[in-house]
Amino acid sequence: MEALQMMSSSLGAMGPLLGKLHTQLFSPEHELPGSLKDGILHLKQDLEELNSFMVDLSGLGRPNAMVKRWMNEVRELSFDMEDFIDSVISSNMMASRETNKEILSVVKQFRNLIKQARERHERYELSRWPSNPYPSCMNSRVNGTELFGISESKGELVKWLKPLFSNVDEDRGRLKVASILGPAGVGKSTLAQEVYREIGAQFERRAFVRASRVPDARRLLRSMISQVRRHERPPCGLPVQELVDNLRTHLQQKRYFIVIDGLWETTSWDIIRNAFPEGAHCSRVLITTDIEEVALECCDYQSNASVTSAPDFMLDSDSHFHAQVGIFKMEPLSTDDSMELFCNRVFGSNPQFCEQLKKYSEEIIRKCSGLPLATIIIASVFAGQTDNSELWHHIKEYLSSRNNLSSEDLLREIIVLSYYSLSQHLKTCLLYFSLYPEGYTFLKSDLVKQWTAEGFIQKDKSANEIAECYFDELVSRGLVQTNHINLADEVMFYTVHSTVFEVIRRKSVEENFTTVIDYSETIPKLSAKVRRLSLSFSNAKYATKPEGFTPLPVRSLTFYGLVECLPSIMEFKLLRILILEFWGDREVFDLSGINILLQLRYIKITTDSVIKLPVKMQGLTYLETLEIFAGVLTVPSDIVLLPKLLHLHLQGDIKLPDYVGQMRSLRALQSFDLSSNSEDNVQSLGEMTNLHDLHISCSTAVPDRLERNFIALASSIGKLDNLKSLTLAPDVSCRSIIYTDCSSIVSAPPISLEKLELLPPICIFSRLPQWIGLLQKLCILKIVVRELNMDDVNRISGLQELTLLQLYVRQPTAQSIVFNSASFPTLKYLKFSCGVLRLAFQAGAIPNLRRLKLEFNAHSGEQYSDMISGIEHLLNLQEIAVRIGSAPGAEDSDRTAVESVFRNTISKHSRHLSISIRRADSVDEVIPQFSDPATSSSRLDDLLPKPSTVADVTSQSNEIELAEVEIVSVHVTTSDPNIQTDQPIATSTFPRQTPPEASESVAHNLLVVAGKSPTRKPSKSCGQIASSIKRETACCFMFGKKAKQAVERDDDVHSVKVFSYSELRKATQDFSGANKIGEGGFGSVFRGVLKDGTVVAVKVLSATSRQGVREFLTELTAISDIKHKNLVTPVGCCAEGSHRILVYKYLENNSLAQTLLAMPLQEEDTVTFGSTGVLVSTFLWVLPVDLHFSMRKSDLPLSTGT
C-alpha cells in the first residue's frame, strides 16, 4: 500500500487517497460504525479498480484526446474525494451519528461517480490502447553538465572580451558589447557560462542573468544588482528607473562584466542599457539570443556609443566571429562531434555496438541537426536501453517521419519523446517547474522541499535523498540545466531551457496540472477546478486581481508581483503550498488568519513588508516548511509545538518562544539569533537531535548575555550528532563584537559535519582547533584564527573531502606556511587572508586546486622575496585573485612593487591563468588580545585602530582620564545654504598638533578626541584645521569621566525604530523640494510627518557615500548610545537596498551655525561640540584614523531649550 501513496500528474490524488482510506479502515485509532466502515471499504475497492485503469493508461506513449479527457475526469474526482476525506479528518466529523450519516451519503455519491467513470472506460474501449513504447529507465551514466565542442569558440570570445590592463587608450578601453547568436539548443548558454567562468574574476563587478520571452526588466535589474552587490538584494518594490540608477551607481568607475542569457526582445535591452556606464575601464556585456535583430540592436548600442574604428584584431576569414560588430554566430556541431557526444552518453567512453544500432544512431543524429541539447536529451532516452532494438527502431522511424520541420520544432519533438520516456514520478516533478516564471533560477533544496510537501515523494526518513535523486536525474537528462557553479565547483542554481520550459507549460495545461496567469497575456477562462495556480504580475502597473475562478480547490499558490493583485489568501481553504514574492505600499502584510488553512505544508514569503503571523498556529499540524525572508512582528508562541515542522527560516534578530528544543522534528534552522534568544533557549538547541543544518546569527545584545549564550551554544552543538552544516555569521545589523578565544569554549562539534563556517566577529580562534582534523566528512571550512603555524595546517591537510578552505589569519605568521606534497588532495578553492603573506607550495601539493584567492598588505620598504613560492607546482590551477591592501605607512609605490613581484611569480606557471589583482584599503593584521571568556567583549573602541599619537596626547593632560573613555561615532549632515559648507568645526587646543596645512589627505584621516575640562577653554573657532577641505571626515568623540554628569549611556539600543522606505516617502511627500530643510555633501534633510503625527527630520544619505549596511548601523548605534538634554538622538532609520536614511526628531531652532553667527565673537570662541547637539566647554585633539564622514557647524541642529 505504501508504494501507492504518492501524488502524480497522471494519477492525481489516487495514491494518497487510497492510503488515507486504508488508514481509516484498519487503524486501531479509528473505530468506524459498521455501515460507514462498509461504505468506505466498498469505496476503496471501487477506487482500486479505477486506479488500475489509470496506471495502464498513464503508460501510453501518446494518449489521444479521448484518453486524456477520461483520465482528467478521474484525476479531478480523486482530488475531490481526497479534499472531502481531509475535511472529515481535520474536523473530526466521525464523532457523531448524524455526521456519520452525512459522510455515508457523500460516499454513496462518490461511488456512483466512480461507477459512471468505469462505464465510460468500457464504452470507449480504452483498455485496447497499446502500452508506452518508451520504457523509463533511471540513468546514472549521463552527466548534464558535460561540455562538448566549444573550446575553439570560447577561445575566440575570451580573446575579444578579455580586459586590457596596460596601455589602454580611451577608445580601446570603452565598454564592449558582444552577442552570441544561434538557434535554440546550439549551446549559447553553455558557451556564455564558460566564458563567464574563464574571465569573470578579472572584473570588479560581474553578474549572470537569465532573460525570458516575456519582457521583465525589473527582474533582470534586481538580479544584476544582487550579484554586483554581493547578493544584497534591492527592495522588491523599487521602480524600474530607480533600479537602473541603483545599478549604474554601483557600476560607475568600475570594470564590470554582465551576461544576459536568452534575450528575446529589445524592450528590456532599451531599459537595461541605461544602467551601463561608459568609460575607459574595459567593461564588457555579453548577450545570448536566438534572434538576429536583437543581436544587432545590442551591438549597435556599442557602435553608436563609440567612435567607429578598426577592430582590435581581425579573425581568419572562416571564423564565425565578426569582431567589428561584436557578433559571434554559433554553428551546430559537426556530424563527427555529434556522434561522439551521443555515443558517450549512451554507451560510455568505450562504445561497442552492433552495425544495426550504428545505422539507427546515424539517422537519429542527423535529425538532431547538430544541436547539443537535442543530442543530449535523445541520448538520455536510449541510455540503459542498448538491448531494446524495438525502441531504437520506433524512435528512428518517428523522427524520420517529421519532415520539413525547423531545427527548433524538431527539438520540441525530441523533448516530448524524452517526456514520455520518463517514469511517472519524474514526469510529475518536471511539470512542477511550470509554476515558476520562464528564466527563473532554482535552488535544488527549494524544489526538494516543495515536491515533498506536495506529496510527490514517499514520506519517510529518506524522502529528501529520494527527491534529490529525482532532481539529479532530470539534470542528467538535460531537461534541467546548471546555471551557477560555486567556488568549489558545486552547482548552486539551476534553470530550465526556454524550449524545454515551453513544452513543460503545454503538458501541464493538457493535464490540468498547473494554471499560469501572466500579466502580459489575456487572462484565459479558468477551469472550474484549478489545483495549482501561478500568478505573475511583475510589470503590471495597472493589473487587477484575476477573476472567474473558485479559490476553494486550489492546493498550491505561487504569486510574484504587486501586492495589490494578490487574492485573499484566506479564501484558499484547501491550500497546501504557499509561495509569495511581492512588493507594494503595504508596510505590514497580515497573515494572522493563516492558521485556519489546516492543510498547509509549505510557506515561503519574500517581501519588503513586515509579516504579521497568527498569535498561535498549532492547528497547522501538517506544516513542514516555514521560510520568511522578511521582517516578522512576532513569532507564534506555539510554533515549537508543530509536530511535522522540518525547515524554519526567520530573518533578523528574531526571539523564538521558549522551549525550542521541543522541535525535535526540525532538520534546518535559519537564522537563530544568538543575541535575541534566552540562554535557556540556546541551551535547548542540544535537544534538537534531528537537526542537519544550523545557521547562527548575531545582531545586538548586552555583551555579558551574548557571552553566556555563546558558551551555551558551544555546549549544545556537541549534542547534535546529525548536524551536517554549521554557520556562525553576523547579522546585517550586528553591532556587538566578541573577541573570545573560542578554542577554550568549543570543544568538538559532531563528526558528521560537512560544512563549517565560523566567521568574524562572532567567532575567532587563537589557533586552529585540533578537533577540526577529526572531521573526516568536512567539505567546506571557513575560519578565523589569530595565529597560524605549520602544525595547524598539517592538522587539516589530510581531510579527504575538503573542497573549499578559507583561512583568515589576524597576525603575521612567524614563518612561511608550506603546503606539503600530497596535502589537501581534493581541495579546489583556497582563500588565504593575512596581513603579511608568506606561502610556499611543494611539488604535488593541492593537486586539484582550481582557484586561489590571496589577501595581504603592502608594507613600506619590503622586498617580498619570500612572499610566495612554488606556485608552478599547482598544476591544475586555473584562476588567481589577489587583493592587496596597504599597511600603515605604505605608499602606492609599495603596492605597485608588490603587484609587480606577484605577477613575475605567477609567470612561472606553465598554464595560461586567469588573473585578477585588485587594491583595497587594508587587510586586517591585528585583533585585540583575548581576555577571560567570562568577561571578554569589545565595543566600538576595539574596532578603531589605536593611533600612535594617543600616548603623546595622554602625557600632556592630567585632567582627563583616558583610561575610562568610551568611543562614540558621530555623524550629522544637515547644512544651511547661508553658511559656507566647506568649513569643518574641529579645532585644536594645541597649535603644534594642528595640521600645518589644509589637505585632502589630512581631512581623510581625522579623529577628534574631546573631553570636558573645567580649566581649559578651546583656542579658536571653526575652520582652523582645514578651511578649504570638502572631503568627508570622521569624527569620533571620547568623553572623559568628568563629562559623565552631562552624558549618560543608554544600553537599550533596540529603541531605534526601523522605517520602511515607502513609509518615509509618504512622510516627506515623496521627498518633495518643499520639505527640504538642508543639503550637504552627504545628502539632504527633509521635514516629514509620520502616520502618528510626529514631526521628524529625515536625513537621506547620497549614493556617493558608499556606506554599507553594517557601517551605517554601527554608526547609528553609536549615536543612539549617547543621551543628553541638548543632544538630538535619532528615532529611527531605513537601510533598504541602497537607501541609507536617519530619522531625527524635528528641531525648531535651526542649526548651530546660525545660532553662532548671532553670537558675539568672544562667546563663540568658548563653544565647541562634544557630539551631535551637545554643547560643552571642551578641548580637542586631532588624531589620524581611516574613517570617512563629515561634520560642520551648520550640520548641528539645536533642540528646544538649547
Q: How confident is residue 36, by pLDDT bands cut at 50, 70 and 90?
A: confident
| Mean pLDDT in residue range 598-620 | 94
Question: pLDDT: is 584 or 145 the higher one?
Answer: 584
Question: pLDDT: is 482 or 59 the higher one?
Answer: 482
pLDDT of 961 reads 30
Which pLDDT tens digit goes with each residue over 888-897?
Answer: 888 889 999 9
Report how far residue 1106's alpha carbon sits from residue 251's, in angstroms, rounded to the nearest whole number: 12
pLDDT of 1112 reads 66
Residue type at 372 in one-letter notation: P
Phi/psi for 284 (5° steps) reads -140, 145
Q: How confident is residue 732, by pLDDT bands cut at 50, 70 and 90?
A: low
Q: How confident is residue 468, by pLDDT bands cut at 50, 70 and 90?
A: very high
Would the pLDDT of 390 be above 60? yes
Lowest mean pLDDT across 119-128, 803-812, 857-866: 857-866
| Mean pLDDT in residue range 5-15 | 88
pLDDT of 1138 reads 64
3-state secondary structure of 570: helix
Q: State the alpha helices, DSSP H only, in 495-608.
A: 498-510
DSSP state of 567: P
Q: Please give, one letter per residue, the 3-state secondary structure of 1118-1156.
A: HHHCEECCCCCCEEEEECCCCCCEEEEECCCCCEHHHHH
Block residue for cell numbers 537602473: 244
Helix H or strand E segment including 726 = strand 725-730
Which pLDDT tens digit goes with each residue over 703-713?
Answer: 677 778 888 88
Q: How confident is residue 651, by pLDDT bands cut at 50, 70 and 90?
A: confident
Spatial contact of 338 and 370, defined as CB atoms under 8 Å apart:
yes
Report how far residue 1192's alpha carbon sits from residue 983's, in angstroms, rounded to the nearest whole number: 6
pLDDT of 1115 reads 63
Would the pLDDT of 1193 be above 60? no
Question: pLDDT: is 1196 or 199 the higher one?
Answer: 199
| Mean pLDDT in residue range 296-311 | 57
Which pLDDT tens digit goes with each residue over 686-697?
Answer: 999 999 999 998
The model carries a pTM of 0.76
Residue 676: count of CB within 10 angstroms of its CB? 21
CA 945 to each of CA 45, 764, 887, 1187, 1191: distance values in angstroms, whole numbers, following the listed order: 79, 18, 12, 10, 21
Report how far residue 941's alpha carbon sits from residue 737's, in angstroms, rounded to the nearest whole number: 10
Spatial contact of 739 and 928, defined as CB atoms under 8 Å apart:
yes
Beta strand pairing status for 1007-1012 and 1095-1101?
unpaired
Ranges of beta strands (E only) in 810-929 are 817-819, 829-834, 839-841, 851-858, 868-869, 879-886, 914-919
Helix H or strand E segment including 1008 = strand 1007-1012
DSSP state of 1187: -
Which pLDDT tens digit goes with each residue over 1027-1072?
Answer: 222 222 223 332 333 333 333 333 333 356 778 887 888 888 778 7
Would the pLDDT of 827 be above 60? yes
CA 668 to each of CA 450, 581, 631, 689, 749: distance values in angstroms, whole numbers, following the listed order: 15, 22, 19, 11, 17
Which pLDDT tens digit goes with each residue over 228-244?
Answer: 987 577 777 788 899 99
Lowest mean pLDDT across 454-463, 1066-1075, 1119-1128: 1119-1128
**Cell numbers given for 364:** 537519429
pLDDT of 526 reads 62
Has 329 been labeled as part of a binding site? no
Q: How confident is residue 352, by pLDDT bands cut at 50, 70 and 90?
A: low
Would the pLDDT of 815 be above 60? yes
Would the pLDDT of 308 be above 60? no
Q: How confident is residue 975, by pLDDT bands cut at 50, 70 and 90?
A: very low
Would the pLDDT of 297 be above 80? yes
pLDDT of 777 reads 95
pLDDT of 548 reads 62
| Most confident segment among 43-52, 527-536, 1104-1113, 1137-1146 | 43-52
**Cell numbers given for 843:** 611539488
Question: pLDDT: is 531 or 1168 the higher one?
Answer: 531
Q: Which residues of 176-198 are buried (b: 16+ CB within 10 A; e: fewer)?
A: bbbbbbbbbbbbbbbbbbbbbbb
Spatial contact of 1095 and 1103, defined as CB atoms under 8 Å apart:
no
Would the pLDDT of 439 be above 60? yes
pLDDT of 1092 reads 75
pLDDT of 761 reads 67
Q: How confident is residue 145, by pLDDT bands cut at 50, 70 and 90?
A: very low
**Percent of the chain having pLDDT more than 70?**
72
Q: How confident is residue 1083, by pLDDT bands cut at 50, 70 and 90?
A: confident
| Mean pLDDT in residue range 464-491 | 87
Would the pLDDT of 699 be above 80? no
Would the pLDDT of 1024 be above 60? no
Would the pLDDT of 971 be above 50? no
Would the pLDDT of 173 be above 90? no
Report how far residue 305's alpha carbon sits from residue 1194's, in angstroms, rounded to the nearest whole number: 43
Report how far residue 752's alpha carbon sits from residue 801's, in angstroms, rounded to the nearest whole number: 12
CA 292 to each of CA 181, 286, 299, 302: distance values in angstroms, whole numbers, following the listed order: 7, 15, 11, 16
| Most confident segment among 83-97, 276-290, 992-1006, 1117-1131 | 276-290
pLDDT of 734 reads 57
Which pLDDT tens digit goes with each residue over 54-85?
Answer: 998 887 767 888 998 999 999 999 999 999 99
Report how far residue 982's alpha carbon sits from residue 51's, in angstroms, rounded to the nearest whole number: 82
pLDDT of 985 reads 31
| Mean pLDDT in residue range 938-961 | 30
pLDDT of 599 reads 95
Phi/psi for 708 (5° steps) reads -65, -40
Mean pLDDT over each residue of the chain, to the nearest integer: 77
Report how far residue 521's alpha carbon sits from residue 518's, in angstroms, rounded to the nearest whole number: 6
